[in-house]
Amino acid sequence: MLCKLAWGNVRRAGRDYLVYLLTLTLGVTVFYAFNTVSMQVDIAGIKEEGLSELMGSMLGYLTYFLAGVMAFLMVYANNFIMKRRKKEFGLYQVLGMRRGRVATIMALETVIVSVGAFVAGIVLGVGLSQLMTFFTASLFKTQIANFHFFFSVHAFNLTLACMLVMFVLTLLLNLRAVRRTKLIELMGAERRNESIKTRNPWIAIAIFVVGVVLVGVAYYRLLRDGFPLTATEGKLQEAMNQFGITTAMVTVGTFALFWGLSGMLIKLLQSLRSVYWRGLNMFTVRQLAAKVNTVCFSMGVIAMILFLAITSVTCGMSIANVMNENLERYNPVDVSQTYVYYTPETLDYYKEYVNPSEADRMVLADATVDLYAAWHGERKSADNNDEAGKKVNIADVAGEHVQIDSYLSYTLGGSDPSVTAGEMCKAMGEKLPKVLEGSNADDMGLFVTPASQYNKLRQMMGEEPVSIGRDQYVLTCDMGGELGDLYTKYMAGGHTLTLDGHELKPATDKSDEDTAAIANSAMGSNPGTVVVADELLSQLNLQPYSSNLLVNYKQGMDTTEADESIKYTLLDNLLVDGKEPGSWGVFITRSEMYTQAAQMNGMISYLAIYIGFVLVVACAAILSIQQLSNVADGSRSYRVLAQIGCDDRQIRHSVMAQQAVFFLFPLAVGLAHSFVALKVIIELVSTFGNMSIGGTVGLTCAIFLAAYGGYFLVTYLMSAGMVQAAIATRYSE
């Protein structure tokens, strides 16, 4: 009996429950689908060990976050329904039903809807996760070899547990609502308080203007100061404080803006008399004003959340893109090995703090060493293979190879670099690139490399050698972006460099970033190098800094096998006259970099999409619920409009206009904030590479907008239906 009643209620109140059902279903779908990511990674054929576990655990933490957001949404949607159903529950009590039974009916209703949502959500989630497998594969740049249908028991259990918790939570809230509320309140719940909050429009306008000014100043400050990431240590605290002020300004400004919005809108439109007194414009504006007053806070929150979501998604994915796009340039060869020479500072440090006896073995290098000859050693035993201890030599795998030596731009025993980016900027009268700002750019010198080595690398990469005369130089840098532009500009401008008393002229007018890498790397290895003629270099007696051996495997050799054969090698100490001039540095294979970048890219993309999607959907759902409840509250007004001869189309337009404002205003403000923030971020990141917003970012944003717009559309269609129903109701009822 009670079940029948509950089922009937759910069907009858279907429209109210639909919002709840949709939100819950969507929650379950996203929840399930994202928790199957580790399984997707397996099926997508991504072999990298540990990745699926890592992804799984990362997303696992986010699951809690998602659960929190969803719980908030559930409670919000549930309150919406309860407000609508109060009278009915009151009626049962008036008819003599005990509270316990009323509560049971309500619990049953919640069970029906929750079970419905859960089943629908799991079905959709299973479907979505199959589709996402392809997406995962494309993110991680692999092909699906063996696709098969899968179902994750783990994700199912997790989703079920979360749903149960949420279910119990909403149930408790509802029971409390029934128990606490007095009968008279339940019965009268439909009668609204007809007084509306009115604000003095002039005060509202003033607040609005203050909001706009605050936001504007905050934008200006952000554009001027940037993020406090590049500040040097002394200034960091102050920069952070300034940034804090800017953040506070934009936050307060956003809320003020929404607070004053309604007054602003009214005054603005009223001053346009022929617009205001036309059709339903006046009604639309007043209706908006009345509602904006009560929801200005949530509109502000939504604008800020959208801002965060848009910014983090765009930014995260763009950085991942940059890394991916420049990968080829950053990794010119199959494998590279770095050797770093000791500097006077390292020696002093060892002598003083580490171990003087160890320092005795160390010596300041006066010449570079031959890495190709020195690269040999034993296979590490730590690795679980049966070849531990086997002798490994680079000559076993190496085909073409080149050694690039980087010298500091000062002579042995010196300490002041003669060529710095700071000096170059000064010479050209340019501002320092953002990334160098506040750092001690003047102390960091450029490296110096002999032309023969540079040209050999170019040849290896299929490029024409550059002829560099004794009094000429070429600047190289593989980081692109602002730094690369700086060097190109310097050379194109024909500026001279003075290296230890020798004045040099540019040999070309462009810094070629594609052949500038001096080792394999994830984010670039060469912040700036002066390439000079070998004769000059040998004459200068500069301090060696590092040597890099860049090796391509022998023709026809399998890359994976070659990687494997030299990967776990413990290189023998390199001794010159029984002393160590430096130490072995990083060993990087190209395939490793590619895999890492693909993983990083996939990871960032996943996180960005996951967080962004959840936030956007949550915002849209809240707006949707608010709007539907507005329409339900206003159904009487729409009936009146119909009766005094307003046709349906006009009424629908008014509803559309109202909802468009509610959906679009926070989005517009959020987008404006993001735009400014992204501009600064792009400037910052462009030091490393040309950050472009497009491709996956565009697609992701399109998906978000589709989700947001979809909610808008559904809300509008449902509202139009509610209005139609309200109009069709005979007023005698």
Partner 1 sequence: MQTTQTATPVLEVAHLEKVYGALGNVTRALNDVSFTVNRGEFVGIMGASGSGKSTLLNCVSTIDSATSGTIRINGQDVTRMKQAKLSQFRREELGFIFQDSNLLDTLTARENIALPLTIARTNSAEISTRVQDVAARLSISQVLDKYPYQMSGGQQQRVAAARALVTDPTMIMADEPTGALDSKSARLLLESLEALNRRLRATVLMVTHDSFAASYTSRVLFIRDGKIFTELRRGDTDRREFFDRIMEVVAMMGGEGSDAL
By CB under 8 A, is residue 635 in contact with partner 1?
no
Tell me the residue type at 373. Answer: A
Q: What is the closest distance, in whole angstroms, from the C-beta atom of residue 265 to partner 1 in the complex?
A: 13
Which listed residue (559, 583, 637, 724) binds partner 1 by CB under 8 A? Answer: 637
Q: What is the closest distance, in whole angstroms, from the C-beta atom of residue 195 to partner 1 in the complex?
A: 4
List, in sequence order, the alpha helices (H) in 181-232: 183-187, 201-225
Evaluate whether 214 touches 253 at the Cβ level (below 8 Å): yes
Count interface residues toward partner 1 (CB under 8 A). 33
Task: Locate 402 and state its tokens.
Answer: 């080149």
Find the radius of gyration of the CA atoms of the chain: 34
Q: What is the closest distance, in whole angstroms, from the C-beta atom of residue 301 to partner 1 in the complex?
A: 24
Which listed residue (646, 657, 705, 714) binds partner 1 by CB under 8 A? Answer: 646
Per the DSSP assignment, residues forming a β-bridge with 405 are: 547
Query: Mask of contacts with partner 1, 594-633, x by CB under 8 A?
Result: ----------------------------------------
Residue whose C-alpha is closest to residue 66's, from 165, 193, 141:
165
**Is residue 504 helix, strand or coil?**
strand
Residues whose CB is less than 8 angstroms from the CB of residue 50 and which lie 6 or more positions away in sequence, other chains included: none
Nearer to partner 1, 279 or 695 (CB): 279
Q: What span, in angstroms and rounded, lies between the C-alpha atoms of 470 and 449?
A: 13
By CB under 8 A, is residue 227 in contact with partner 1?
no
Torsion-angle region of 570 (φ positive above 0: left; ψ -120 to 50: alpha; else: beta): beta
Evaluate whether 267 touches 637 at the Cβ level (below 8 Å): no
By CB under 8 A, is residue 180 in contact with partner 1?
no
Q: What is the closest distance, in whole angstroms, from the C-beta atom of residue 285 to partner 1 in the complex?
A: 9
Q: What is the closest distance, in whole angstroms, from the C-beta atom of residue 263 to partner 1 in the complex?
A: 14
| Choices 65-73, 281-289, 568-576, 692-700; region in contact with partner 1 by CB under 8 A | 281-289
Q: What is the closest distance, in whole angstroms, from the C-beta atom of residue 258 to partner 1 in the complex?
A: 18
Ranges within 403-462 binding partner 1 (CB under 8 A): none
Q: What is the closest distance, in whole angstroms, from the C-beta atom of residue 289 to partner 1 in the complex?
A: 7
Which listed residue (11, 278, 390, 505) binds partner 1 by CB under 8 A? Answer: 278
Q: What is the closest distance, in whole angstroms, from the C-beta atom of residue 194 to partner 1 in the complex?
A: 5
Residues whose CB is less than 8 angstroms from the CB of residue 681 and which lie 6 or more positions away in sequence, other chains included: 227, 311, 315
Q: What is the closest distance, in whole angstroms, from the C-beta atom of residue 279 to partner 1 in the complex?
A: 6
Q: What is the closest distance, in whole angstroms, from the C-beta atom of residue 661 to partner 1 in the complex?
A: 14
Which listed residue (66, 214, 289, 322) binds partner 1 by CB under 8 A? Answer: 289
By CB under 8 A, is residue 648 in contact with partner 1?
yes
Residue whose C-alpha is closest to residue 671's, from 249, 321, 219, 211:
219
By CB under 8 A, is residue 202 in contact with partner 1?
no
By CB under 8 A, is residue 642 in contact with partner 1?
yes
Evaluate whether 461 touches 515 at the Cβ level (below 8 Å): yes
Q: What is the closest distance, in whole angstroms, from the C-beta atom of residue 87 to partner 1 in the complex?
A: 18
By CB under 8 A, is residue 277 in contact with partner 1?
yes
Q: How many Cβ atoms are within 10 Å of 695's Cβ, its own excluded? A: 13
By CB under 8 A, is residue 281 in contact with partner 1?
yes
Q: What span, in angstroms and rounded, lies between the C-alpha atoms of 495 and 485?
A: 14
Nearer to partner 1, 194 or 577 (CB): 194
By CB under 8 A, is residue 732 in contact with partner 1?
yes
Q: What is the closest distance, in whole angstroms, from the C-beta atom of residue 157 to partner 1 in the complex?
A: 49
Nearer to partner 1, 180 or 191 (CB): 191
Which listed residue (151, 156, 276, 372) binds partner 1 by CB under 8 A? Answer: 276
Which listed residue (57, 157, 198, 237) binds partner 1 by CB under 8 A? Answer: 198
By CB under 8 A, is residue 662 in contact with partner 1?
no
By CB under 8 A, is residue 282 in contact with partner 1?
yes
| Choices 99-107, 276-284, 401-409, 585-593; region in contact with partner 1 by CB under 8 A | 276-284
Residue whose C-alpha is closest to residue 381's, from 393, 396, 392, 371:
392
Q: What is the closest distance, in whole angstroms, from the C-beta atom of residue 649 to partner 1 in the complex?
A: 8
Tell me the residue type at 665. Answer: F
Q: What is the closest distance, in whole angstroms, from the C-beta atom of residue 288 to partner 1 in the complex?
A: 9
Evaluate whether 531 touches 468 at the Cβ level (below 8 Å): yes
Look at the chain and count its residues: 733
Which listed residue (194, 352, 386, 464) binds partner 1 by CB under 8 A? Answer: 194
By CB under 8 A, is residue 290 in contact with partner 1?
yes
Which listed residue (184, 273, 464, 578) binds partner 1 by CB under 8 A? Answer: 273
- Kindly tell me the burial class for residue 61, based on how many C-beta atoms sit within 10 Å of its own C-beta (0-12, 13-18, 19 or more): exposed
Q: Can you state the percent helix, strand and coil of the chain, rounding each to 5?
A: 65, 10, 25
Nearer to partner 1, 44 or 289 (CB): 289
Q: How many Cβ atoms are within 10 Å of 555's Cβ, its own excluded? A: 7
Q: DSSP class of residue 525? A: S
- Kindly tell me the burial class for residue 66, based on how many C-beta atoms sit within 10 Å of its own C-beta (0-12, 13-18, 19 or more): buried
Q: What strands lie across the sheet with 569-571, from one edge to the other?
A: 391-393, 376-379, 569-571
| Choices 74-82, 287-295, 533-541, 693-701; region in contact with partner 1 by CB under 8 A | 287-295
Which listed residue (68, 127, 188, 279) binds partner 1 by CB under 8 A? Answer: 279
Q: How many Cβ atoms are within 10 Å of 53's Cβ, its own excluded? A: 11
By CB under 8 A, is residue 368 in contact with partner 1?
no
Tell me the residue type at 137. Answer: A
Q: What span, in angstroms and rounded, lies between the C-alpha atoms of 488 and 618?
A: 47
| Choices 14-22, 182-190, 575-583, 642-650; region in contact with partner 1 by CB under 8 A | 642-650
By CB under 8 A, is residue 335 in contact with partner 1?
no
Nearer to partner 1, 47 or 192 (CB): 192
| Choices 145-153, 177-185, 250-258, 278-286; region in contact with partner 1 by CB under 8 A | 278-286
Which listed residue (50, 234, 578, 645) binds partner 1 by CB under 8 A? Answer: 645
Give the CA distances from residue 51 to residues 39, 45, 126, 145, 223, in Å, rounded to whole numbers and listed in that order. 11, 11, 22, 18, 38
Give the CA distances from residue 508 to residues 14, 466, 475, 482, 570, in Å, rounded to whole numbers and listed in that order. 74, 8, 9, 19, 42
Q: Which single residue is written with the structure tokens 């996760």?
A: 129
Q: What is the closest distance, in whole angstroms, from the C-beta atom of residue 659 to partner 1 in the complex?
A: 16
By CB under 8 A, is residue 274 in contact with partner 1?
yes
- From the centroid of its chain, how far is CA 77? 29
Q: What is the closest distance, in whole angstroms, from the C-beta atom of residue 669 to partner 1 in the complex?
A: 24
By CB under 8 A, is residue 99 in contact with partner 1?
no
Task: Locate 18 and state its tokens.
Answer: 């639909």
Residues whose CB is less than 8 angstroms from the CB of residue 264 and which lie 6 or more positions away in sequence, other chains included: 204, 205, 208
Q: What is the closest distance, in whole angstroms, from the C-beta atom of residue 432 to partner 1 in the complex?
A: 57
By CB under 8 A, is residue 271 in contact with partner 1?
no
By CB under 8 A, is residue 349 in contact with partner 1?
no
- From the centroid of its chain, how far is CA 129? 22
Which listed residue (128, 402, 611, 641) binds partner 1 by CB under 8 A? Answer: 641
Nearer to partner 1, 31 or 283 (CB): 283
Which listed residue (4, 148, 182, 730) binds partner 1 by CB under 8 A? Answer: 730
Residues whose CB is less than 8 angstroms from the CB of residue 141 and which lie 6 or more positions away in sequence, other chains included: 598
Q: What strands lie across the sheet with 447-450, from one edge to the other?
A: 497-499, 502-506, 472-476, 529-532, 447-450, 398-411, 542-553, 335-341, 582-589
Interface with partner 1 (CB under 8 A)? 194-196, 198, 273-274, 276-283, 286-287, 289-290, 636-637, 640-648, 650, 730-732
